[in-house]
Amino acid sequence: MPAAPRIAASSLFTPDEWAPFQTRFGWIGPMLVVHCWAVIALAVVAGVLIPWLIPLCVMVIGTRQLGLAILMHEAAHGGLSRNQRLNDFLGHWLCAVPIGASLAAYRPYHLSHHRFAQQPEDPDLILSAPFPVSPASLRRKMIRDLTGQTFFKQRVLLPLRSSSPKGDSAGEMRSSSPKGGSAPQHDYDSIVTGRSVLPFLAVNAILLAGFVAAGAWWAFFALWLLPMATWFPLVTRLRNIAEHACVDGSADDAFRAARTTRAAWWERAFIAPYWVNFHAEHHLFMWTACYNLPKLHRLLAEKGYADRMEIAPGYLSVLREASSKAT
């Protein structure tokens, strides 16, 4: 099986230029996890105290649920802590399990995606291959996300099927999904299986108990489950489209294995937290810590490599390109 094209850092940078990107600070990863949960907690408190803010809080919390998935992704690359046990604890129990995923299942799947990015063997190829689609098709997908249909398929039907005798893997559900349909939105969704359901239910039972103890039981459903069932699937889909869909030459050129999307402050707040928009840089050098990706982006541009990369001016431009197929 042909692996995705690679490029060595030494062919682009001097040792002094590359040295800062080989350093991981042990405290930043744990603080990112704390930051993610702190934003969620503040949004919950705001929604409880000021109910008319609930729609905005749902968007903020859903984006930070995506943030938990992104930090699980960072843990899959060993990026949350230099201590492997702490890295895996944070990535699994504080990031993956609350949203129904499993770091142990995600890591080999995701590293396979990197090894075969945009090749026929890429397990994520089914997520980008259908694009571009028609505007009507994209609208239907987004409506399914916002109405909870995607959540129901991923969090109820998929675990039930994966735990049944006739379908014991999430991959079967993925392979049976029609192109352009409501297949799982990104690789961390592919490891929502029967085995990850019990930890997910246990952690969410603890969260529910906390809401009950605080005298706001209803907020668990309105300000935790509702974002997970609506905004989280939507921004996950937008992330997936932006990362790999409609990138010409992505299977042949390491610089074009993925797309980087410039993100304004509101896009970082409501769509793309924790530097996830710098995906071309991540695929070039996947062990670079997420907080170093903006600096890596600037260095690549300074050295004249940006012209070889797929860089979009924003998420709206990506959506226009992804929905450009004539009806």
Concatenating the DSSP letter of every residue in 106-136 gives HHHHHHHHHHTTTSTT-TTHHHHTT-S--HH
More reliable by pLDDT, 163 or 113? 113
Q: Where are the beta strands (DSSP E) in the chain?
A: 259-261, 310-312
Contacts of 43 (CB under 8 A, 6+ apart): 57, 60, 61, 64, 223
**pLDDT, tens digit, for every residue of 145-201?**
999 999 998 877 776 676 666 544 444 334 334 333 444 444 545 455 556 788 999
**pLDDT, tens digit, for every residue of 212-236?**
999 999 999 999 999 999 999 999 9
Give the C-alpha distances (Å, rounded to integers) separating 61 from 131, 223, 225: 28, 7, 10
Query: What's the CA gap between 20 and 121, in Å, rounded?
Result: 33
Q: Are 310 and 277 in contact (CB under 8 A)?
A: no
Residues across the chain: 327
Mean pLDDT calculated for residue range 301-323: 96
Q: Which of 75-84, 175-184, 195-204, 304-313 has the lowest mean pLDDT?
A: 175-184
Please, which contacts does 169-172 make with residues 24 or more away whose CB atoms are closer than 8 Å? 169/193, 171/123
Average model confidence (pLDDT) for the chain? 89
CA-wise closest residue to 193 among 208, 174, 180, 221: 174
pLDDT at 252: 86
Amino acid type, 285: F
Mean pLDDT calculated for residue range 64-83: 96
**HSE-up of residue 187 (Cα within 13 Å, Cβ side):** 23
Give the C-alpha distances (Å, rounded to integers) separating 184 from 54, 147, 241, 314, 319: 27, 15, 12, 23, 18
Query: What are the structure tokens assigned to 294, written together?
Result: 């903006």
Mean pLDDT calculated for residue range 259-269: 97
Query: What's the CA gap between 241 and 238, in Å, rounded?
Result: 5
Query: What's the CA gap between 227 and 68, in Å, rounded?
Result: 13
pLDDT at 24: 84
pTM passes above 0.85? yes
Query: What's the CA gap between 211 and 195, in Å, rounded?
Result: 26
Query: What is the share, in percent, of the chain residues with pLDDT greater than 70?
Result: 88
